[in-house]
């Protein structure tokens, strides 16, 4: 069974820059009315390969292979996104044990074609989903292995280059696979984090295939978490980090390292952004609600004015304490000032 969405990538981009990570439900109630009120045009969610394919499928490119256990929540979210005229971006992440040498899910497969085969099945399962994120924050060792951490500003050694090189092979294979299903599919690669085990700059500079060329992608994914007000005139972040204020520098870095003749200036898909308003388990800083709201306004203004930015995504609609306090709504349902800043921005 497949589910249509009826929206082209061009249509989604033209409607606005706002994206939002799920979940689809909270306490059994759809969150799509809130997403619509906030002006969201792209709904984001995960496809966890390890959970969907706990056993090796006999026909890995077929979404109807009995080994696949497609998540009901994602299936229903794609359907409901259609009703609310939103696009969907799905992130394919983690590896099943049979594909990565019986290791934990964050260990990547050394056979990129197996990941690509799953991408084909996923695209056929959801044929009108045209935005595909390849892994999430693979420059962080707890998300993508094998990865050897590196000190910023220092050239990577052979061991440290293994992770970005392997990721590049997976990305390029997924690109070919997703385009083979539908040329309208847009592939989002990189998917870096502001501060990681290998800095975004090092990661991008070392995204290379065995022949030395960069992998193919349509958009470059990055999560521009920041501890300062978003302002493109700010000085560069320290320690090799790339936060919201560094997006101009990120664009130059992506163009110079990942631009290809067919796509010399890949646009930025800013998948995850949030600003916590109290101490939580995700971040080592937080701000007052009025500051969160001001930063949201500044960030949306930058995203709308900068043609190199395809979309700006927010993660956490609600606070989920004690882990996450970066929501736009408090855990008890009270809307923060940031909710209205995101809605009006």
Q: Locate tokens 């000190």: which residue?
A: 151
pLDDT higher than threshold 60 for residue 82 = yes
pLDDT higher than threshold 50 for residue 5 = no
CATH number at residue 310: 3.20.20.80
**Spatial distance between the Cα atoms of 45 and 88, rounded to a whole number of angstroms:** 8
DSSP 129-144: --EEEESS-TTSTTTS
Cβ proximity of 297 and 283 under 8 Å? no
Instruction: Return the number of other C-beta atoms located less than 10 Å from residue 73's C-beta.
Output: 14
pLDDT at 13: 41
Give the tens place of pLDDT for each residue, 7-28: 334 334 434 589 999 999 999 9
Residues above pLDDT 70, as percent of the chain: 95
Residue 157 in tokens: 């050694």
DSSP category for residue 246: G
**Spatial distance between the Cα atoms of 164 and 32, rounded to a whole number of angstroms:** 36
Residues above pLDDT 90, as percent of the chain: 94
**Spatial distance between the Cα atoms of 216 and 262, rounded to a whole number of angstroms:** 10
Query: Is the backbone peptide bond immediately before 198 cis, with ω within 30 degrees of 0?
Result: no
**Spatial distance between the Cα atoms of 197 and 244, rounded to a whole number of angstroms:** 19
pLDDT at 6: 36
**Owning domain of residue 14:** 9-344
How much of the chain is in helix, strand and coil states, percent to nearest 5?
35, 15, 50
pLDDT at 8: 39
Give the tens place of pLDDT for each residue, 281-305: 999 999 999 999 999 999 999 999 9
Gap between the terminal Cα atoms of the chain: 38
Inside any domain, residue 4: no
In Å, the largest CA–CA distance within the chain is 54
pLDDT at 2: 40
pLDDT at 44: 98
Instruction: Return the number of other C-beta atoms located less than 10 Å from residue 19's C-beta.
Output: 28
Inside any domain, residue 3: no
Mean pLDDT on 333-342: 98
Q: How many independent structural domains does the chain possess?
A: 1
Phi, then psi, of 222 in degrees rounded to 5: -155, 150
Give the tens place of pLDDT for each residue, 241-286: 999 999 999 999 999 999 999 999 999 999 999 999 999 999 999 9
**Spatial distance between the Cα atoms of 283 and 234, rounded to a whole number of angstroms:** 21
pLDDT at 1: 37
pLDDT higher than threshold 80 for residue 3 = no
Residue 41 in tokens: 């045009």
**Average pLDDT value for the chain:** 95
């Amino acid at each position: 069974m497949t589910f249509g969405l009826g929206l082209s990538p061009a249509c989604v981009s033209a409607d606005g820059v706002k994206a939002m990570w799920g979940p689809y439900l909270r306490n059994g109630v759809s969150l799509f009315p809130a997403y619509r009120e906030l002006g969201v045009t792209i709904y984001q969610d995960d496809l966890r390969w390890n959970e969907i394919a706990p056993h090796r499928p006999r026909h890995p490119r077929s979404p109807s292979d009995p080994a696949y256990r497609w998540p009901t929540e994602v299936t229903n979210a794609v359907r409901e996104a259609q009703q609310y005229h939103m696009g969907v971006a799905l992130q394919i992440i983690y590896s099943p044990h049979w594909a990565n040498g019986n290791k934990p899910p964050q260990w990547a497969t050394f056979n990129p074609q197996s990941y690509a085969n799953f991408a084909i099945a996923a695209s056929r399962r959801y044929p009108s989903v045209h935005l595909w994120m390849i892994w999430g924050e693979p420059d962080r060792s707890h998300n993508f292995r094998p990865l050897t951490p590196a000190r910023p500003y220092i050239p990577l050694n052979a061991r440290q280059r293994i992770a970005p090189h392997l990721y590049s092979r997976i990305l390029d294979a997924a690109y070919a696979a997703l385009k083979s299903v539908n040329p309208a599919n847009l592939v989002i690669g990189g998917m870096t984090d502001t501060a990681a085990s290998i800095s975004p700059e090092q990661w991008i500079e070392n995204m290379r295939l065995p022949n030395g060329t960069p992998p193919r992608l349509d958009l470059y994914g990055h999560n521009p978490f920041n501890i300062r007000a978003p302002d493109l005139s700010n000085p560069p972040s320290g320690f090799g980090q790339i936060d919201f204020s560094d997006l101009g520098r990120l664009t130059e870095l992506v163009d110079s390292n990942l631009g290809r003749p067919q796509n010399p200036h890949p646009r930025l898909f800013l998948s995850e952004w949030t600003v916590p308003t109290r101490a939580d388990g995700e971040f080592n800083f937080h701000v007052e609600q009025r500051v969160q709201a001001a930063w949201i306004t500044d960030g949306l203004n930058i995203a709308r004015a900068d043609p190199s930015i395809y979309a700006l995504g927010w993660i956490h609609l609600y606070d989920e304490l004690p882990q996450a306090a970066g929501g736009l709504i408090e855990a008890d349902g009270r809307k923060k000032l940031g909710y209205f800043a995101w809605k009006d921005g």
